[in-house]
Structure 1
């Protein structure tokens, strides 16, 4: 009567040990996995693979748009609550060059070089996805006297978005600017925008909402159409203002090959300067205070933390890509070697007179690690004792809580022993089984596997060849008619 009581207390103690040890054992791998998933999610976010929305709103009626806006200038000021929006034009002989969709690590530095060479300034409407990946270029823009505006984070058409998503696009873009250059900006350009007379009933409410958040909406009145790559001459022709008028010119420093844009700037800037034009920032052209506001305190450190996290994510995932590529190559090489060696092995063992040697008859120990295998363990043990080869069976109970060990002991089968241990995992169970094995040749199997009577004999026969040091069996899935069984079969075949 004392044995069951003692065993029950021991089991309860093991349960408490499991609850205490498992979190510590898996804490570090779990944290690493969570960190890796977070980095992958962040990379997907800043590469527009998550939350990206590429829908573009078709033209809509303009009945809700004020005539002052449709017929006005390219700068729309809807910031005053309860008052009508106003528009502003660029004074004569002043040009505000604007560049969308950057910064780009290849083309933005070349654009900046051209502007610096000709002592010209402009406005860069950056996306958060690009600015977070290349913050040094944003800082260079600010340091060299250019203005920076928001072009959303993920470049969606805001006509499709809710106000909460619009706020998110703006705040995330500002967060990146704070981390990259320590500033906020009051300039905004909607993605897929063109002239002010293109405002319609879908885009105008967005412009009003953007204005209520304190932003100037900047469209353009001169489109170079450089994104079409029509040639340097065509870009210059389309970008040139008429009759000395001031202009906001739309160009791009990202989104594809911008070599024609860079080449056009090299000619356009000096030619227009010779005609008396000045290339200036937007607020300078309008005689307004700078669009930039310094960021300090917690907002600055939040921005720096975000930009730093993106940098870490980019570096780590880049290393993972290289590592996965190397692993892929090694896997393919391994697969090729396996095909070659398996072909040679098959030819060898399938020869009519092939033998591993004299019949192998030394007894072996069969180890069966088991954790909560009550449903399967009896069939496993009975298949082993039906073997046509001399064996001993050692079932290592790895802290089971379903009575696996009790069931095996209750079978009262000769040459079947049960070794109990606290839950420590399959490797520890196998090592414990080896320590209890009587024979120097050991067969290891799972607690849910069934052996044919000849399996052990066929497994150990190759040891008749003194050059053989280990033998691997080929496990087969018995219930391949189920989906899970089919997938496990594929896993075993690949293994």
Structure 2
């Protein structure tokens, strides 16, 4: 696209950046919360302490009772006395086992202390409410069952205070009992664990250790567990059992048996607070309740959000894989049909390609040009060197760099120059169409060169009367360097494979401005080239399809064009392309409900563009954020394997596309690197374009910088001229 346009532009368009930052931050925060709450939790794990050092643990702790109070000066300890047994449960609540344990306790009229994990409590708030309603004591076991002895101070605060806020938000009660995760009895307290207990005391917590382990984690059998709790030495102890972290059927059976025999055994089972004469639960303050409620609902929101995104990722992956298979299968069909020059799969009505009758009639070639001095000579000479009879019309659209003078100085036969005021590329093309003397018209950008047989090969599909336009095969000329290689891959794989698919499905949405052939009759029926969008080539092609014309692809008709050499130039070009395509899609949205050729464009072509050029690129940042999430919180090896499979699929598709285009594979070494820069640039372009379109801002014309790197295949005058 080579001709300038003056378009209004209102205000700034920073809304797309704001929206993208908000979405990415929301997603990143949601993933961080979910990763922290779910993948850093250690329920059921009992790792060895980070350090076994005990030199800083006060003797009052190692030689004291299981309930440790370090809230004031000095350290005090306490524990159950007489026949009392403090019954405690860890690692819950669990949706399968906690209700059954609560049922047993209610049946026997016994209260117990449940040390809940904040992450589990958020998932099953109804169990905490039932505990509170039935008179049980609720303590905390931190937010994610983290080992506080090895945690930095910020995480200790988050784990302890976070769990307290969760309980407050769910039950309206503020617990003051804390069981440090992975702790045992007083004699095993390490320096790290004591430091965590001391820090928790500053927050008003009593630390509760265990003195009698029921052993239910090892599942030794319900009889063994029950025997341990009914022994006389169990009196005056804090018994540790579990309602979560695994299968607890033996715990339920043993608890039922023990409570059924408590009268005969002389044991009195109760809560920790009751066993030492302390009311450990107080009404939460209004601020704690509000903060806790917001925290709980915030985590639930991230859970729903991440779950929805996860399913969307699965769907996106399936669609991407399906596309890869589809385009390769259809490309193979297209290639066989084109190469054999006959009908393919007529019985299924997929793709009709009649036997060719060679077309030799002259062709009018229109070259719209706006400040194309860097490449116009190469472009015109290459067309003039065509083996097919051509009339060349160069429309100078108000250039200020002497473009028309350069063409005039060439002195080539049958090259006509039209000078006009700048009116935009559509007006230049329409001026050229009006001056064309032949029924077949080829349009080519001023930064593009043809091979000698390009025109002849391009127009042969016009042997079929239904064909109104033909897309050629655009090649990147300046493909040196990594950016050039990336664009070369995109043209061969992304554009050309898709064009083969569109050809077969009869829903071609774009004949590129760099190389396209048209019937003048078809152009006249749709009113020429419209200036309604910034993608006049896409707009024109869609109009032709809606007019009932067939638009096809000829891969042997090659045109060489300059690609942007900098990221900034690439951004401007793709931004304009994407925005213009969105405009054209919106303009022709009515094709979705039409029949015939228009319906094929609407339901096949526009649907394909919507999914693969709009929705999936919009979703691409989520994929990248999820990849980082997986590397941090999940299995990095698994993430690497998934990424490797995805890259392998891309490589196979690219290699096949390169084979179809008869291109060497050496550029594909840059394909892995493309995922880290080029891909992000492309989806940011789509995001900016979509938000700009939704904001109703009219995008200004961005003219690509020319480099003058193109050379005509032949530097001699035309070998065949059209009168």
Residue 329, structure 1, aligned to residue 326, structure 2 = no
SS class of match (2:233): coil
Residue 308, structure 1, aligned to residue 297, structure 2 = yes
Residues 349, 355 of structure 1: 8 Å contact kept: no
The 1-side partners of 2:444 and 2:46 are apart by: 53
For residues 124 and 344 of structure 1, do their structure 2 counterparts lie closer, same or farther at Cα, with a shift above 3 Å needed? same
TM-score scaled by length of structure 2: 0.53
Superposed counterparts of 1:46-445, under 5 Å: 46-48=37-39, 56-80=48-72, 82-83=73-74, 85-243=75-233, 245-272=235-262, 274-296=264-286, 298-351=287-340, 358-359=358-359, 363=364, 378-379=374-375, 382-383=378-379, 386-387=382-383, 388=386, 414=417, 438=433
The 1-side partners of 2:403 and 2:42 are apart by: 58
For residues 117 and 416 of structure 1, do their structure 2 counterparts lie closer, same or farther at Cα, with a shift above 3 Å needed? farther
How far apart are residue 57 of structure 1 and its match?
2.7
The 1-side partners of 2:405 and 2:224 are apart by: 91
Residues 89, 243 of structure 2: 8 Å contact kept: yes
Instruction: After superposition, give the CA deviation of every residue in 1:223-255 in whole Å (9 maximum; x if it has no partner).
Output: 123333344334434454543513222223333
Residues 183, 293 of structure 1: 8 Å contact kept: yes
The 2-side partners of 1:204 and 1:415 are apart by: 89
The 1-side partners of 2:226 and 2:327 are apart by: 62
For residues 470 and 326 of structure 1, do their structure 2 counterparts lie closer, same or farther at Cα, with a shift above 3 Å needed? farther
Between 58-67 and 208-217, report the one with greater CA deviation.
58-67
The 1-side partners of 2:447 and 2:42 are apart by: 44
Residues 363, 441 of structure 2: 8 Å contact kept: no
For residues 377 and 444 of structure 1, do their structure 2 counterparts lie closer, same or farther at Cα, with a shift above 3 Å needed? farther
TM-score scaled by length of structure 1: 0.75
SS class of match (1:243): helix
How far apart are residue 204 of structure 1 and its match?
2.1
Residues 224, 238 of structure 1: 8 Å contact kept: yes
The 1-side partners of 2:102 and 2:447 are apart by: 67
The 2-side partners of 1:181 and 1:256 are apart by: 25
Instruction: After superposition, give the CA deviation of every residue in 1:328-376 in whole Å (9 maximum; x if it has no partner).
Output: 33333333333332232222222277855543865576889x9xxx9x9
Residue 42, structure 1, aligned to residue 33, structure 2 = yes
Residues 177, 280 of structure 2: 8 Å contact kept: no
How far apart are residue 299 of structure 1 and its match?
3.0
SS class of match (1:332): helix
Residues 116, 138 of structure 2: 8 Å contact kept: yes
SS class of match (1:96): strand
How far apart are residue 477 of structure 1 and its match?
6.1
How far apart are residue 303 of structure 1 and its match?
1.9
The 2-side partners of 1:35 and 1:418 are apart by: 50
Instruction: After superposition, give the CA deviation of every residue in 1:282-306 in whole Å (9 maximum; x if it has no partner).
Output: 111211123333231x332222122
Gaps of 5+ in 1: 1-6, 398-404, 422-428
How far apart are residue 125 of structure 1 and its match?
1.9
The 2-side partners of 1:95 and 1:261 are apart by: 17
The 2-side partners of 1:447 and 1:93 are apart by: 98
The 1-side partners of 2:309 and 2:483 are apart by: 30
Residues 128, 153 of structure 1: 8 Å contact kept: yes
For residues 269 and 54 of structure 1, do their structure 2 counterparts lie closer, same or farther at Cα, with a shift above 3 Å needed? closer
The 2-side partners of 1:114 and 1:445 are apart by: 83
Instruction: After superposition, give the CA deviation of every residue in 1:115-147 in whole Å (9 maximum; x if it has no partner).
Output: 333333222222232223333332232222222
Q: What is aligned with 2:621?
A: none
SS class of match (2:144): coil
The 2-side partners of 1:51 and 1:255 are apart by: 9
For residues 300 and 390 of structure 1, do their structure 2 counterparts lie closer, same or farther at Cα, with a shift above 3 Å needed? farther
Count how many residue pairs are aligned between Structure 1 and Structure 2: 460
For residues 203 and 290 of structure 1, do their structure 2 counterparts lie closer, same or farther at Cα, with a shift above 3 Å needed? closer
The 2-side partners of 1:59 and 1:241 are apart by: 34
Superposed counterparts of 1:458-473, under 5 Å: 461-462=460-461, 464-466=463-465
Instruction: After superposition, give the CA deviation of every residue in 1:34-53 in whole Å (9 maximum; x if it has no partner).
Output: 43343333322322359999
Residues 111, 270 of structure 2: 8 Å contact kept: yes
Between 376-385 and 220-229, report the one with greater CA deviation.
376-385
For residues 482 and 290 of structure 1, do their structure 2 counterparts lie closer, same or farther at Cα, with a shift above 3 Å needed? same
How far apart are residue 417 of structure 1 and its match?
8.3
Between 182-191 and 150-159, report the one with greater CA deviation.
150-159
For residues 457 and 352 of structure 1, do their structure 2 counterparts lie closer, same or farther at Cα, with a shift above 3 Å needed? closer
The 2-side partners of 1:255 and 1:181 are apart by: 22
The 1-side partners of 2:17 and 2:334 are apart by: 41
For residues 316 and 197 of structure 1, do their structure 2 counterparts lie closer, same or farther at Cα, with a shift above 3 Å needed? same
Between 58-67 and 457-466, report the one with greater CA deviation.
457-466
SS class of match (2:88): strand
How far apart are residue 157 of structure 1 and its match?
1.9
Between 69-78 and 92-101, report the one with greater CA deviation.
92-101
Instruction: After superposition, give the CA deviation of every residue in 1:402-438 in whole Å (9 maximum; x if it has no partner).
Output: xxx86696886557989678xxxxxxx9x99998884
